[in-house]
Amino acid sequence: MAATFQRIFTAALLLLMCAAAPALSARRCADCGSSPVPYPLSTGPDCGDQSYKIRCTSTQLLFDTLNNSYPITSISPETQRLTIQPSPFLPNTCITQDISTIGVQLNSSLPFNITSSNTIVYLNCSETLLTSPLNCSSASLCHAYVNGSSSGNGGAVGACRSAPICCTFRAGGSSTSYMIRVRESGCRAYRSFVNLDSSLPVSRWPQPGLELQWVSPPEPVCTAQSDCDSDSTCTPDPNSNGGISRCFCHSGFHWDPIAALCAQDVTCEDSDGCGSDHTALIAGLTSGLGVAVIAVAIAVFVYRRHKRIKDAQDRLAREREDILSSGGVKNAKLFTGKEIRKATNNFSRDRLLGAGGYGEVYKGVLDDGTDVAVKCAKLGNTKGTDQVLNEVRILCQVNHKCLLRILGCCVELEQPLLVYEYVPNGTLSDHLQGPNRKLLTWDCRLSVAHATAEGLAYLHFSAVPPIYHRDVKSSNILLDERLNAKVSDFGLSRLAHADLSHVSTCAQGTLGYLDPEYYRNYQLTDKSDVYSFGVVLLELLTSQKAIDFDRAQDDVNLAVYVQRLVEEERIMDAVDPALKEGASSLQLETMKALGFLAVSCLEERRQNRPSMKEVAEEIEYIISIATAKA
């Protein structure tokens, strides 16, 4: 007990010393009236991070979009999120005031995006929305909102009740991360609700709000050492091409983007405590009987609480190991938390490969020099945790050269981690539409299509029970140094039931790739993957995005655009001009053949679509034609 008591007071003293003299590396902006402005948000040129600008008026904080401004109602620096107030209705109409600016449009080059915590209710919609992927059925949540709302809002509720078509969707997908569109040809009004519990009556719904999140800021920019504190050095940023310098923390410190300072690393590993002898301090504190009794009581309480937390963590780790073992993880390595932290340099930001709805992916290097990719679930995100555990169960059952290989996992830390083989050459999406894209030859594209089809066919026909991917898209197809394709990201996968169908409570996947039948009835089959793969084939053929608002309004959806060209017998107009340039007549014929195969995958009724095995065989036949000598 004495050793425990000494460790507790030593840790408390260290925390007090760290809190007493924080070393700030960045300046927080002054409060806007009664509203604090946490770092990195900036209301002026001399504070915050200039990439995170907001505005402070005499009465409130405002968030500027590309063509409008919205009041900020709350800010949470701990979760790096803020909430803005949606545009009000025009008087006596079911039309929001920002229809003139086509709704909320964020600048995708800035570090803000719309979160998936928003439930969007579209109101006063045109009939064209009935063919969209949104839920516009009579059971849509928007009807409950309109019918359950009390009269008010300047007559808007009554006007919305007279507009029969409304839709509901969850924001944060690929096409709604930066935009909530309202327009005359679509929906003319919207409401947004953060963390909505749809089981509650409308009278108990939260006030309308649109939640945005910001990316963790890098170290602050500097021009000289005088701009930095004593715990950091002004050095050129290796990730910048513009000669920018930043205040990088010294060894033994790390950048804390929430506190906006260089925080000291905790490296104490001495089981008997760190620091100098505090016997005199303890003797002084225990000199009085009353003080001694209180101190011992606190020490016992903290010790028992720490033990309960440790026992809970051990129990959680055991439960996760049992769950994973039931799915076959015994064939994969269980990494320790220490191994993972060392491999990723304690999850250093310069090792970050990317982030998504599930959490973040870091590059790691194991002790034997093997490069790996480490996927970690988002803290506190139960859905993310379930997705990671599900991916372990599924990936340990499959073994195919065209599927991303899992090496193991770690369940010791707060959230489970997955360890994959590292594929260094980026995604198919990067090569087709990325800013540094290089032209993929037609033979290479056919090879990628065939490998992807083979991998999906393996999941559908060789895995027992069959596995449906549920999120097939070009950004989930990785290319190695030889441009060989590997299908990745099984975070949304589910094991198919014996009746070869699976009904989910909500649509999952990515807009532009999802099967229209799945949008309507939420029934999952292997043909849902076939539809998504058909869109990938169109991307390979056209080098265009599945959803692109830079195209004409009726052609935003790539599948709809190409199907229209097919009906007009102009399918070759969709092919990437760089592919057609210098192509032989034989190659042009194979391009047309792949286009018709893609359209067959996009058939409205799933019974009319080919299976993935048939698709793979057809691509193999097209390749044999393409490689045949004239």
Given the residues 49, 471, 515, 576, the one annotated as active site: 471
**9-15 LR contacts (CB < 8 Å, sep 24+):** 9/278, 9/281, 9/282, 9/285, 10/273, 10/274, 10/275, 10/278, 13/275, 13/278, 13/281, 14/274, 14/275
Q: Where are the beta strands (DSSP E) in 257-332?
A: 261-264
For residue 124, the model assigns a pLDDT of: 92
**Mean pLDDT (the chain, rounded):** 82
Residue 396 has pLDDT above 80, yes or no: no
Closest by CA to 133, choosing from 164, 169, 177, 174, is: 169
Tell me the CA distances in angstroms from 105 to 110, 170, 175, 179, one per residue in order.
Answer: 12, 17, 11, 5
Q: Using CB atoms within 10 A of its CB, is residue 212 exposed (0-12), middle (13-18) or buried (19+)? A: buried
Token duo for residue 55? 């505005």
For residue 6, the model assigns a pLDDT of: 47
Q: Which residues have C-beta within 8 Å of that of residue 473, sequence separation ≥ 6? A: 429, 510, 512, 513, 532, 535, 536, 546
Residue with tokens 């938390």: 337
User: 258 and 78 in contact (C-beta within 8 Å)?
Assistant: yes
Distance separating alpha carbons of residues 101 and 419, to the nearest angstrom? 45
Q: Per residue in 540-557, pLDDT tens?
A: 999 999 999 988 888 899
Distance separating alpha carbons of residues 176 and 106, to the nearest angstrom? 10
Token duo for residue 183? 């327009």
Mean of pLDDT values over 421-441 = 87
Closest by CA to 484, choosing from 428, 406, 541, is: 428
Tell me the CA distances in angstroms from 323 to 258, 360, 399, 405, 497, one per residue in order.
Answer: 35, 22, 20, 20, 19
* Of 153-157, 182-186, 368-372, 582-586, the least confident: 153-157
Alpha helices in 344-441 (DSSP H): 382-395, 428-433
For residue 332, the model assigns a pLDDT of: 63
Which of the 8 DSSP states describes residue 53? B
Q: What percent of the chain has pLDDT over 70?
A: 81
Distance separating alpha carbons of residues 369 and 526, to the nearest angstrom? 39
Q: Which residues have C-beta within 8 Å of that of residue 486, sequence separation ≥ 6? A: 401, 402, 403, 404, 423, 451, 455, 477, 478, 479, 480
For residue 178, the model assigns a pLDDT of: 85
Q: Per residue in 25-63, pLDDT tens?
A: 578 899 998 899 999 999 998 888 889 999 999 889 999
Question: What value does the CA radius of gyration of the chain take, rounded to a whole number of Å?
Answer: 28
Which of the 8 DSSP states describes residue 440? P
* Of 155-159, 279-283, 294-298, 617-621, the least confident: 279-283
For 151, the 3-state DSSP assignment is: coil
Determine how β-strand 112-114 pairs with β-strand 210-214.
Answer: antiparallel
Residue with tokens 């410190």: 253
Residue 567 has pLDDT above 80, yes or no: yes
Q: What are phi and psi of 203, to 5 degrees?
A: -65, -20
375 annotated ligand binder = yes
Which amino acid, 270?
D
| Domains along the chain with CATH numbers | 64-214 (no CATH), 221-264 (no CATH), 332-422 (3.30.200.20), 428-629 (1.10.510.10)
For residue 630, the model assigns a pLDDT of: 43
Q: Is 471 a catalytic residue?
A: yes
